[in-house]
Amino acid sequence: MSRRYLTVSERRLMVDRAKGRCEYCKCPDDYSLQSFDFDHIFPVSQGGLTLLENLAYACGGCNGYKQAKTLVIDPESGIEANLYNPRQDSWEDHFHWTNDFLEVSGNTAVGRVTIQALKLNRRGVMNIRKLLLIEGKHPPN
């Protein structure tokens, strides 16, 4: 069985592990109009299992753009790269904030393909970052 329901305690653990933020775009769930999802990092359609080590807490936008993607062509090198894996990779290794903290920028091919595929700098997310910045709630610690 590759897909199963998560228990309440598993869901709570995942939200806590992500500090209540999308593990890709870093937007907090408290400021999202859509409910967050538990993204299968390695997709169910490719044999990914519903295990905590294969799940990421993701906003509806990031999860919707990611779908079953795992490999994407890096716009800089033209070579295929894996999408960022929140269970194996460090966010800070692959991404950094621009000086105004409104956009995510890629440090690596993994960062660049993830920004492109999941549209991490989409207008709505940047608008939320702008408001959270004013409130002192962005960037995340």
Of the pair 22, 115, the CB lying nearest Zn ion is at: 22
| Residue from 25, 72, 110, 128 in contact with Zn ion (CB under 5 A) | 25
Of the pair 7, 90, the CB lying nearest Zn ion is at: 90
Of the pair 109, 125, the CB lying nearest Zn ion is at: 125
d(CA 117, CA 134): 28
What's the min distance (Å) between Cβ of 78 and Zn ion?
A: 26
Of the pair 48, 61, the CB lying nearest Zn ion is at: 61
Distances (CA, A) of 118 to 2, 63, 73, 88: 24, 8, 13, 18
Q: Tell me the one-letter amino acid at 134.
A: I
Helices (H) and strands (E) counted in the chain, each on its own, are 5, 6
Work out the burial of residue 15: count CB atoms within 10 Å of its CB; fewer than 13 is exposed, 13-18 middle, 19 or more buried: middle
What's the min distance (Å) between Cβ of 95 and Zn ion?
A: 12
| Residue from 24, 36, 84, 95 in contact with Zn ion (CB under 5 A) | 24
The residues pairing with 105 across neighbouring beta strands, listed in sequence order, are 96
Q: Is 110 in the site for Zn ion (CB under 5 A)?
A: no
Among residue numbers 26 through 85, which ones bind Zn ion (CB under 5 A)?
59, 62
Q: Could you list the residues that contact Zn ion (CB under 5 A)?
A: 22, 24-25, 59, 62
